[in-house]
Structure 1
Amino acid sequence: MTRQQPPRSGAVELVFSLHDERCFFIAASERTGGEFIGERAVHRADGNMLEFFTVRGVRPATVLDVAADLPMVREARVVSEHSDSTLMEFVVSGPCVAATLADTDAVIRDVRADDGNARIVADVSPHGDVRKVVDRVFERHEGARLLSKRTLGDTIPGLSNTSHNAHLTADLTDKQLAAVEVATREGYFSWPRESTAAECATVMGVSQPTFSQHLWTGLEKLLRSLFETDEEVSDDSLVNDTI
């Protein structure tokens, strides 16, 4: 959930189950009966976590009411509503799966909770310490279970949308990527503009100048990666046409 990246060949995939109600989205899924699917988590400067979740099967107002009663949720709001789901934003403190794995060799690929039960898929880099990752989860989340462990094969599938996005954002830092995503979700690029840089900075828990620096540096890298990719494809086409 920290960086949605495609699995790397040779990495070890770990699948955990959690029933730790100190994690707000697990508690919220049990109390609302809805499904919570993690999109991204960002460490804020104030020590809290900014987390985006797609919520299905429950009205947004119900989630907001439940979130207001959860002590670990500092803020909660609706980002956008769709016919079958709602994208929601939460500022939370306390135990969190993203925080648990933040300083390990693992990258969270999928997080979802339903009826108080969570399933976490994390990839450990080929040279990472798998035992350390497993022990960290067990230490911080009582009742956690390791459902499966497997080494990902050497066959690399065709480039999916997720893989393509990961290639485009590979040069961005987590804070730069978070600034671009927050600005997009908050309507900063909309016309007329739906939020200011100061409001986006508040969401991230940073100053407005810091937010702007992350945003424009991240955008420059993203656009450079996009156009460099196009140029490479164009060059290949020219070579093929020549042949």
Structure 2
Amino acid sequence: MVNQRSSTGSVELVFSFHDERCFFVAVSERADCGLVAEGAVHREDGNMLEFFTVHGARPETVLHITDDLPSVRDARVVSEHPDTTLMEFVVTDPCFTATLADTGAVVREATAQRGHARIVADVSPNSDVRRVVNRFFDRYEDAELLSKRTLGRTIPALSNRAQNAHLTAELTDKQLRAVEIATREGYLTWPRESTATECAAKMDVSQPTFSQHLWTGLGKLLTAMFEPYEGTEMSVPNDIS
């Protein structure tokens, strides 16, 4: 899932398109496989760090294909599983994400299967749905609007979406990026699967800066979860590397 946020009363739009300018569409076409977007992080250098689960293709095949895609600056395997592989890609063109973000829409799901992409986006009640659709069609000439529906006006209080919004409300964008990268890179597992220096490189910041964002962000998350006495803070370890 690309983004967990959604507004009550928003409009859900489902698009399909076939355009190999989007790297994940090209990969799914050339590797005859499926990709599911898991998350995206803005880097300090202006590029995007995007995570995808790959179904039906060997990771070395995907890596070979991305070597020939100009929008992909780097790619690597995060973790392998019996039937899927979680991979990360540093891309210069955020593709559909930027197209929709410019109109105020939020991408909720993004998948590609054998060259055909499917995008689910939420448009807030205050945004112009027609403008969102026209902007998408302008960018992707072969795009189709598969469905349009108004979402329910109530969200269960204990839904994952509501919980996530509550827990991350106090985090800055950089703190949230650091926590997400640390989680996906295996930095928070034991034994660690990556170092703070490697994670910092993903954010295009120094290691001390990454560590500061990470541990401050984790402190805010834990505070939101357990609600300790006011003024309690999580100290930043000096030996994190």
Shared topology, TM-score over 0.5? yes
Structure 1 equivalent of residue 195 of structure 2: 196
Structure 2 equivalent of residue 3 of structure 1: 3
Aligned residues: 229
Aligned pairs (5 A) from 1:112-151: 112-151=111-150
Sequence identity of aligned pairs in percent?
69
Structure 2 equivalent of residue 240 of structure 1: none
Contact 2:2 2:109 in 1 (8 A): no
Aligned pairs (5 A) from 1:3-152: 3-5=3-5, 7-94=6-93, 96-152=95-151
**Distance in 1, Cα, partners of 2:94 & 2:188:** 33
The one-letter code sitting in structure 2 at the alignment partner of 1:46 is D
* Distance apart, 1:202 and its partner CA: 0.8
Contact 1:33 1:58 in 2 (8 A): yes
Q: Deviations over 1:31-51 (max 9, x none)?
A: 111110001112212121110
* Distance apart, 1:158 and its partner CA: 6.5
The one-letter code sitting in structure 2 at the alignment partner of 1:121 is V
Query: Mean Cα displacement is larger for which, 111-120 or 219-228?
Result: 219-228
Unaligned runs of 5+ in 1: 232-243
Contact 1:17 1:144 in 2 (8 A): yes
* Residues 1:222 and 1:170: Cα distance change in structure 2 (over 3 Å): same
**Distance in 1, Cα, partners of 2:173 & 2:134:** 25
After TM superposition, the score normalised by the length of structure 1 is: 0.85
Q: Deviations over 1:32-90 (max 9, x none)?
A: 11110001112212121110001111111111111112121111111011122111000
SS across alignment from 1:216: helix
* Distance apart, 1:29 and its partner CA: 0.3
Contact 1:31 1:115 in 2 (8 A): yes
* Distance apart, 1:27 and its partner CA: 0.4
After TM superposition, the score normalised by the length of structure 2 is: 0.86
Structure 2 equivalent of residue 238 of structure 1: none
CA RMSD of the aligned region, Å? 2.1
Contact 2:156 2:162 in 1 (8 A): no
The one-letter code sitting in structure 2 at the alignment partner of 1:118 is A
Of Structure 1 and Structure 2, which has the larger fraction of its residues in helix?
A: 1
1:169 matched to 2:164: no
**Distance in 2, Cα, partners of 1:206 & 1:99:** 23
**Distance in 2, Cα, partners of 1:186 & 1:170:** 23
Q: Deviations over 1:171-227 (max 9, x none)?
A: 333432221111122222233433222211111223334322321232122111111
Structure 2 equivalent of residue 216 of structure 1: 215
Contact 1:2 1:98 in 2 (8 A): no
